[in-house]
Structures are given as C-alpha cells and as structure tokens.
Amino acid sequence: MRIAVLNGVNLDVLGRRDPETYGGLGLSELETRIYGWASDLAVSVTCRQTNHEGEYVEWCHDAGTWAGGVVANPAAWTHYSWAIRDALELLDVPLVEVHLSNVDEREEWRRFSVLADLAAKRIMGKGPDGYREALEFLVEGQR
C-alpha cells in the first residue's frame, strides 16, 4: 500500500512555532517518525509539505493517481480552503484528517473543518502520534 502524507501551511516551522501547542518536534523529525512507522507497517509513504495552496491542490490531484490512502493536515487551510476540499473530494481512497493540536478545544474559528465530511477518520490533539494512528487506520482498512 502507498500512502500520501500531505502537510500544509506553517508546518515547515514546527519546533519553532508555539511548542506548547504543537510540540517541540521539527518537520524533518516528524517525517522521520512517519517513515519509521510506515516501515513497521510494511507500507510506502510519501511525505510532502508546502506553504502554497495551489501546490497542495496539485499534490491532492497527484495522490489520486497512485495513493491507496491519504493523510492530510492542511493546517489553517482546513478551516477555509474550499479549493483543497474540492481537490480531496476527488479521491477514491480513504482520507484521514490529522491535526497535532486539538482544534476542537482552540479558537472558535479552528473548530470548523471543510474536510470533516470527506474524512473516513479525524484525529486531533495526539501530536505526532496522530500520524501513526492515521497510518494504522489506513492499513487496517486494507485488510
């Protein structure tokens, strides 16, 4: 199984951005963990991160041609990017929405997700381990 992990805006500054909310792990460390979990689960993962909404949309389109599942953390775009929602809606594979922090317990504007009705599963507030849970969910769905 091949899985796309698509991270959005400002996740490139993990480790520097509000460590109490997002943890102290940098993006490269997060990706190293994701690749390790994928190896343990005997799946292939491609991790991508961008601060450019159009590029994220293109990656969603691309994932639809090869991925057996998608883990998406669009970050702030989760709350307002209908373009990303429309791109993810095209997927014929399971989508897991992941957030490092528990967005349902934060500011009111963060509690709305344009992806919620598309996601087979939503994982929030589990830090990096949320990505592990997402991979496990996708793998279990293939069995």
Distance of alpha carbon 64 from alpha carbon 58, whole angstroms: 10
Gyration radius of the chain's alpha carbons: 14
**Among residues 35, 61, 99, 131, which one is catalytic?**
99
Active site residue 99: yes
- The catalytic position among 22, 52, 61, 80 is 22
In eight-state DSSP terms, residue 91 is -
137: DSSP letter: H
Alpha carbons 124 and 115: distance in angstroms, whole number: 13
Active site residues: 22, 99
